[in-house]
Amino acid sequence: MRSTFLFSIIMIFLSCGVHRPVKMKETGNLTKNNIMFKSGTSDVNGINMYYEIYGDGKPLVLIHGGGSTIQTNFEKVIPLLAKNRRIIAMELQAHGRTDDRNADLTFEQDADDVAALLKNLNIDKADFFGFSNGGTTTLQIAIRHPEFVDKMILGSALAKRNGVPEWFWGFMEKAALENMPVQLQEGYKKVAKDASGLQVMHDRDAKRMLHFKDIPDDLIKTIKKPALIIIADKDVITHEHALEMHKLIEHSELAIIPGGHGEYIGEITTLKPDFKESDMIVPMIEKFLNKK
């Protein structure tokens, strides 16, 4: 039971080249949970990336964590955020409905893929909300592609190996698919074209974390965009690490929220029978994004 819980925390936590015609395929209006959206796929750096678009207004890009899909991370929070914004969510390499490429996952490549997707969608500037591994990807977007970023929210993001307890790394060495939370396995199988890709996704995520290297301070300090750093008081990310990032990112704010990793956005493995929309941090997000 303990190993399943820890893996739940970990796995959640867990192109610009030659000019050529961009291959994109978009559906018409669809409905999910009583909210209208469009979905599509785009040729991004050699993979076919899946995305969904909700609402109207200024773009807010949602970037999921390791082992996750759009829905397993953001299903509860999207309808609220989409009331006032245009929500763009995608599934990264090997996750959900997006292809794998014959290469290991890296946060740098994920950042480049997100930037390429936005370029294909003709989006020049957006706000970003990255959760867990998606928060680390958002850091890399701000470092590698700052021209796309207006404001960013870093939810339970890791920038350095000492940002998690020591047991984390020992557990990652023993990570196995059978210990992956059932909710995440079912979330993948529900949307993926080939259920056998679940093992690939798991192994690529685990390997990336095992080989994770610190983002140097001098790179983090180059981030000049307003940032809201969020962790939970029972998060796998340590309070000390969140405070360190807050000190390194010049225009940043820090919030520590009651609960566990992902509970503040209704992540699927954290849902309880008494879950309420008011438990999520949407008002805090909107207050930050609306600041002049």
Give 265-285 pLDDT, tens digit per residue. 999 999 999 999 999 999 999
Average pLDDT over residues 247-267: 98
Question: How far is the C-alpha of 109 from the C-alpha of 128, rounded, in Å?
Answer: 17
Mean pLDDT, the chain, whole residue set: 92
pLDDT score at 35: 82
* Intra-chain end-to-end CA distance of the chain, in Å: 46
DSSP letter at 83 equals T
Q: What confidence tens digit (pLDDT) does each residue in 18-47 have? A: 334 457 777 767 777 678 899 999 999 999
Token pair, residue 191, equals: 């949307």
What pLDDT, on a 0 to 100 scale, did the predictor assign at position 119?
98
What was the pLDDT predicted at 28? 65
* Structural contact between residues 59 and 75, judged by C-beta atoms closer than 8 angstroms: no
On whether the CB atoms of residues 265 and 74 are closer than 8 A, the answer is yes
Model confidence over 189-224: pLDDT tens digits? 999 999 999 999 999 999 999 999 999 999 999 999
pLDDT at 10: 52
pLDDT of residue 33: 67
Structural domains present in the chain: 2-289 (3.40.50.1820)
190 CB-near residues (< 8 Å, 6+ apart): 71
- Tell whether the model's pLDDT for residue 1 goes beyond 60: no
Percent above pLDDT 90 for the chain: 87
Quick one: what percent of the chain has pLDDT higher than 70?
A: 91
Q: Which pLDDT band, with edges at 50, 70 and 90, does 290 fall under? A: very high
Which residue has better confidence, 33 or 116? Answer: 116
- 61 membership: H or E segment, kind and range: strand 59-63
| Range 87-96 average pLDDT | 98
What is this structure's pTM?
0.92
Which whole number is the average pLDDT over 128-151? 98
Cα–Cα dist 30/109, whole Å = 30
Is the pLDDT at 186 greater than 90? The verdict is yes
Average pLDDT score over residue span 89-113: 97
Half-sphere exposure (CA, 13 Å, Cβ side) for 61?
32
Q: Is the pLDDT of residue 158 over 60?
A: yes
